[in-house]
Amino acid sequence: MSQATTRANAPASNAGQEPPPSKDLRGLMPYLRRYTWSIVFGLVTVFLMGVVTNVLPLATGVMTDTLAGSPAPFEHAGGKGAAIAAVPRVSALSRAIPYYAPNSRRTLGIYCLIVVLCVAIKGVLSFSGRWILISVSRDIEYDIRSDLLKRLLALEPEFYVRNRTGELMSRATNDLNSVRMVLGPGIMYSATTIVTMIMAILVMVTLSPSLTLWVLLPAPIVAVAVWFFGKTIHELYETIQAALATLTARVQENLSGVRIVRAYAQEQAEMRAFDEPNREYVSRNISLIRTWSMFMPSLQALVGTSFLIVLWQGGHQLLRGQITLGALIAFFFYLNQLVWPMIALGWVTNIFQRGAASMGRLNFILTSKPGIDDRSAILPKDATPQGEIEFRNLTFIYPTTLSGVNGSNGSGSNGGGPHTVLSDINLKVPAGSTLAIVGPTGCGKTTLAALVARLWEAPEGTVLIDGRPIQHWPLEALRRAIGYVPQDTYLFSETVGGNIAFGLPDYNPERACEAAEIASLHGDIQDFAAGYETAVGERGITLSGGQKQRAAIARAIVRDPRILILDDALSNVDTQTEEKILSGLRGVMRGRTTILISHRTSTVQNADQIVVLRDGRIIERGTHDELLERGGYYADLYHKQLLEEELENA
């Protein structure tokens, strides 16, 4: 069993042991390292913006003291010596301020110009910081999305049996957007908040240590509030994303099966079934909004308390001559400057908690290890199989049935526990020959074909290609040599020609046309208004069942494969079309190893060998004539179908 599917069940068993948010966000470190210098440059820009921002209140305080006639900035006009003795650091700050003179127009002009320049520089730095850090967040979003698709394409069918498509789509869209918010606004506002708060507090301590201490009294309460509400938001957002995934999966299934819903007149029933997860999603969002609506007013109340403290204590210090009016005004500006960081602290906390919850869900995909890979491959990637296939004592159980999840496509699982799909299969298919497989539904025909394409992992040494275990072949080399037409035909939202040439490196109209002729589809395509450029719609909705199957056959043979697998590929065509397709395929099948799976004896009667499966075991094998002579399952099937054809033609 793959690690991916093992992890899929982990939340249910370890619900009380969820990792902290910081652990989930560690998955971003490899992406952040790719843009180290850009991030550093962006953070330096944010730091410089913080420095410039903190110059503005000082300049305002200097102008105030200039108008008030203080002999030195931030020193009381009537008690310079007392002020210096009481606040020596203010004296050092005073001496560091140039071009100061009380009641001087020149000083006012210089510091007005400084304010204008600071505002202009702050604007440029603000733009630069946003442009750099937000751009990095978009680049990392691109990288994560690419890695998600790469990983999803590498994971085996077992993963998709356990995880619904809609849930995976939700992770790749909504969750990824939340992670991007951490990387862009989250990092940018965190850096801005930290730099602004630290520098503002340092200057405030220099102006008045005692007043700063009074202002910071609410800080522990802020820290506790941020911790409590952050933890609550993280938990709520995880449940919201899970509810959204369920909702997305429901919508995706309804849209994909909309024709079935309408055919059975189940629109109202599906709407009622949709109502419950929809209400659950809304309810969980309301819980989050309720928590968030308590968080922000709490922070604002603490901020308002700080202003009252400054007005109360600062006024007393001003009247006692401990600080100047300019220092008090600067203090108010610094405190006002801290309002946004304190509010942003809550907002950033929300972003990081949401992002951590979402990154944890993305990590589930990004860290999933495919159970089918090249770790046992020993042949070079350019190796080409000749086409000999052998099954040695093959016994197979779908790994999904081991944990109670039904397998698909012939698994034979009834949900009552592990079910052996194939038992003790011993069979050799020489290179260039044709093997036909018949048998009742659920006997394991599709599974046998899927094991050859290594869509499911067979036990080591039970499936061999050219005498080597299939695990020794690189996946790319193996699948490049196989043309596979699955039982459930799938066409992409592309043109007819694009679907036929899907397996080619580049679109080749001649080869696509040749393959369509062999599959008896060329005539139908010529009747289309746009020919091979006709769009087939989602999942080939504009084509009939027979046309889709023939397009899939053409897609398989256009690759010129060494091994051709046709899994009930002619079930949706009539007998005349079937014979026409088979006539075209005989030339293609010559010299190639072909596996034909069918319920029709007319499809398989010319095969080099025919095996009959029942309950996962080979009960008959031989040529068409040999099996007819034995009078077993194959002979009964042949005579029944012959009688049906006679009745149809009567």
Q: Is the pLDDT of residue 374 over 80?
A: yes
Region 24-53: mean pLDDT is 88
The pLDDT, as a whole number, for residue 9 is 40
**Consecutive H or E run containing 421:** strand 420-429
Integer Cα distance of 637 and 543 in angstroms: 31
How much is the average pLDDT of 438-467?
89
What the block records as the tokens of 413 is 């699982």
Task: Determine how β-strand 434-438 pairs with β-strand 593-597.
Answer: parallel
> How far is it, in rounded angstroms, from Cα 39 to Cα 136?
7
Computed on alpha carbons and rounded to an integer, the radius of gyration of the chain in Å comes to 36
Closest CA to 330 of 544, 94, 619, 164: 94
638: pLDDT strictly greater than 70: yes
Pairing of β 617-622 and β 420-429: unpaired
pLDDT at 121: 93
The answer on pLDDT for 146 being more than 60 is yes
Instruction: Write the CB contacts of 459 (distance below 8 Å, at least 6 apart in sequence).
Output: 394, 395, 396
pLDDT for 416: 41
**pLDDT score of 415 more than 50:** no
CB neighbours (10 Å) of residue 142?
Answer: 12
Determine which of 49-53, 326-330, 387-391 has the lowest per-residue pLDDT on average.
Answer: 326-330
pLDDT tens for each residue of 577-620:
777 777 777 777 777 898 988 888 888 888 889 999 998 899 99
pLDDT higher than 90, residue 463: yes
Burial class (CB in 10 A: 0-12, 13-18, 19+), 67: middle
Helical packing angle, 575-589 and 545-557, nearest 10°: 0
Q: Does residue 331 or residue 648 have the better pLDDT? A: 331
Are 357 and 96 contacting, i.e. CB atoms less than 8 angstroms apart? Answer: no
Query: Rounded to the nearest 10 degrees, how much is the dihedral formed by the CA atoms of 89, 93, 94, 97?
Result: 170
Decide: 136 and 184 in contact? Cβ < 8 Å: yes
Q: pLDDT of 204-214, one tens digit each?
A: 888 878 888 88
- What is the per-residue pLDDT for 390? 92
Name residues whose C-beta falls within 8 Å of residue 576's C-beta, 6 or more positions apart in sequence. none
Residue 17 clears pLDDT 50, i.e. is over it: no
- CB-based contact 403:563 (threshold 8 Å): no
Instruction: Look at residue 85 in the predicted model and tell me its pLDDT.
Output: 41
Confidence band of 407 (pLDDT split at 50, 70, 90) = very low
pLDDT tier at 22 (50, 70, 90 boundaries)?
Answer: low
Q: Which residue has the tokens 């009688």?
A: 643
Q: How far apart are the C-alpha atoms of 586 and 607, rounded to whole Å?
A: 10
The answer to whether 549 touches 570, Cβ cutoff 8 Å, is: yes
How far from 389 is each of 89, 449, 464, 581, 587, CA to CA, in Å? Answer: 87, 11, 6, 25, 21
CA distances from 368 to 1, 41, 167, 361 (A): 12, 34, 15, 11
Residue 470 has a pLDDT of 92
Question: Is pLDDT above 80 for 184?
Answer: yes
- Percent of the chain whose pLDDT exceeds 70: 88
Give the pLDDT of residue 408. 42
Q: Tell me, what amino acid is at 537? A: G
- Band (pLDDT 50/70/90 cuts) for residue 414 is very low
Comparing 241 with 456, the larger pLDDT belongs to 456
Cβ pair 570, 584 in contact under 8 A: no
Q: Are 47 and 193 in contact (CB under 8 A)?
A: no
Contact predicate 491/537, CB 8 Å: no
What's the N-to-C CA distance of the chain in angstroms? 54
pLDDT for 61? 85
Name 542's Cβ contacts closer than 8 Å, sequence gap at least 6. 534, 535, 536
Residues 438, 612 contacting (CB under 8 angstroms): yes
Q: How far apart are CA 361 and CA 172, in angstroms?
A: 9
pLDDT for 501:
85
Task: Tell me the pLDDT band of 343, cut-offs 50, 70 and 90.
Answer: low
Q: Mind listing the pLDDT tens digit for each residue in 496-537?
A: 888 888 888 888 888 888 888 888 888 888 888 888 888 887
Backbone angle region of 265, left / alpha / beta, with phi > 0 → left and psi within -120 to 50 → alpha: left
Query: Which tokens sit at 274?
Result: 């949709």
Lookup result for tokens 């999840």: 405
Task: For residue 632, give both structure tokens.
Answer: 């077993």
pLDDT at 299 over 80: no
Q: At a CB cut-off of 8 Å and minimum separation 6, what does 164 contact? A: 249, 252, 253
Q: Write down the mean pLDDT value for the chain.
A: 80
Please, what are the domains in the chain?
24-145+166-366 (1.20.1560.10), 389-481+561-649 (3.40.50.300)
Of all helices (H) and strands (E), which one includes residue 567?
strand 563-567
Report pLDDT for 113: 92
What is the three-class DSSP state of 42? helix
pLDDT tens readout for residues 123-136: 999 899 889 988 99
Instruction: Give the model's pLDDT for residue 143.
Output: 92
Could you tell me which of 383, 327, 359, 145 has the C-alpha nearest to residue 238?
359
Give SS3 for 423.
strand
- Rounded Cα distance between 565 and 557, Å, is 10
Q: What is the spatial distance between Cα 613 and Cα 313, in angstroms, rounded to a whole number?
A: 91
